[in-house]
Amino acid sequence: MKNVLLIINPRAGKTKVKTCLFDIVDILSEHDMTVTVEITRYSGHARDMCSYISDSYDMVICAGGDGTLNEVFAGMISSKKHIPIGYIPAGSTNDFGSTLKLSKDMKKAASDIVTGVTRTIDIGKFDNRFFSYVASFGAFTKASYSTPQEIKNTLGHLAYVLEGMKDLPTIKGEYARIVTDNGTVHEGEFIFGAIANSTSVGGVISLDKRLVTMNDGRFELMLIKNPKNIVELNKCINALLTKNYNTDMIIFDSLRSAEIVTENPLTWSLDGERCDTDGKVSIKNLNNAIRMVLPSTVNETEILYDNTEEADLH
């Protein structure tokens, strides 16, 4: 028998995780797993549970949104333990789950975990905090943490798109100077910036999966310049709507770490959770920091090196 800690965020997504709870537990139990269910009761609860997790657990499974998974990752890193983590996406957008091609059907996602394989992935360190797939500022960032939960539950992905796009014509550019680990400097005014380990950012921006490898020790940097006139603004809007980012208004780069300085204190989003800064941050890729149990078909996504470990769940 395997001991599994199942962490549930009952408010995630359309709250349907509560209706699937017994089915999820039944699927896990049928595969010789003893399941302990814990419900998150406050922001940071999942992190606290994993920070002090018992050695008796063979796996942690998170059923919630990307923010809840972020807490699980942060807690596991704090614990200095390497217990495999399974993820059942139950949020409104689920960028991280989409990148890994995890099933949006929670019962199928649970089944994929019990038949899955263990692989390592990179995690980002943002000063003293962590992020699993993106640290971003500017347009689309505020939508991830300011859109009311009931609107997210009702509209899902569309809520982020509408909230982000409506601010684009009026958003004020932020001056930023980004120095990467290889000495490259990107400097100017930007309406959006992201350091990502995902093919989707905020459910709005989609990156070519050929650009993203989630355990190569590198992040993808994306910057959208501040448009100075209607022509440049239209270039930005057209690139976002068509997902064709081949324009001089958008900068791409790849990095292992970066030092970022902004002219003013800046609010970032870490996996959809608000993070206020004083205008200077240090970001670093923690290569292969987390062990995740993923579907055995995940190699088909071409976003992981083949460092497969059998999950030993049977």
Write the secondary structure of the chain as one string of H (helix), E (strand) and C (coil).
CEEEEEEECCCCCCCCHHHHHHHHHHHHHCCCEEEEEEECCCCCHHHHHHHCCCCCCCEEEEEECHHHHHHHHHHHHHHCCCCCEEEEECCCCCHHHHHCCCCCCHHHHHHHHHCCEEEEEEEEEECCEEECCEEEEECCHHHHHHCCHHHHHHHCHHHHHHHHHHHCCCCCCEEEEEEECCCCEEEEEEEEEEEECCCEECCCEECCHHHCCCCCCCEEEEEEECCCCHHHHHHHHHHHHHCCCCCCCEEEEEECEEEEEECCCEEEEECCEEEEECCEEEEEEEEEEEEEEECCCHHHHCCCCCCCEECCCC
- Best mean pLDDT range from 86-95, 177-186, 267-276: 177-186
CATH number at residue 197: 2.60.200.40
Q: Are residues 94 and 21 in the same domain?
A: yes
Q: From 256, 277, 260, 248, select the one nearest 185 (Cα to Cα).
A: 260
The pLDDT score that the predictor gives to residue 116 is 93
305 and 262 within one domain = no
For helices 17-29 and 106-114, give the axis angle rounded to 10 degrees: 20
Q: Are residues 87 and 136 in the same domain?
A: no
- Say which residue, 280 or 151, is predicted with more confidence: 280
Same domain? For 134 and 259 the reply is yes
Parent domain of 105: 2-123+288-310
Residues 36 and 134 in one domain: no
- Of the two residues 60 and 194, the one the predictor is more confident about is 60
pTM for the whole structure:
0.82
Judge whether residue 313 has pLDDT over 90: no
Residue 99 and residue 152 share a domain: no
Based on the fold, state whether residues 87 and 178 are members of the same structural domain: no
Question: Is the domain of 134 the same as that of 253?
Answer: yes
Tell me: do 77 and 196 sit in the same domain: no
Contact predicate 253/281, CB 8 Å: no
pLDDT (mean) for 105-117:
93
Domain identity same for 208 and 63: no
pLDDT tens digits for range 147-158: 455 544 443 444
CA 67 to chain centre: 7
pLDDT at residue 63, as a whole number: 93
Q: What is the pLDDT of residues 47-88, one digit of tens each?
A: 999 999 999 999 999 999 888 999 999 999 999 999 999 999
217: pLDDT strictly greater than 80 = yes
- If asked whether residues 40 and 89 sit together in one domain, one would say yes
Residues 293 and 248 placed together within one structural domain of the fold: no
How many domains would you assign to the chain? 2
The per-residue pLDDT of the chain, averaged, comes to 83
What percentage of the chain reaches a pLDDT higher than 70?
78
Does residue 13 surpass a pLDDT of 80? no
Highest mean pLDDT among 140-144, 239-243, 269-273: 269-273
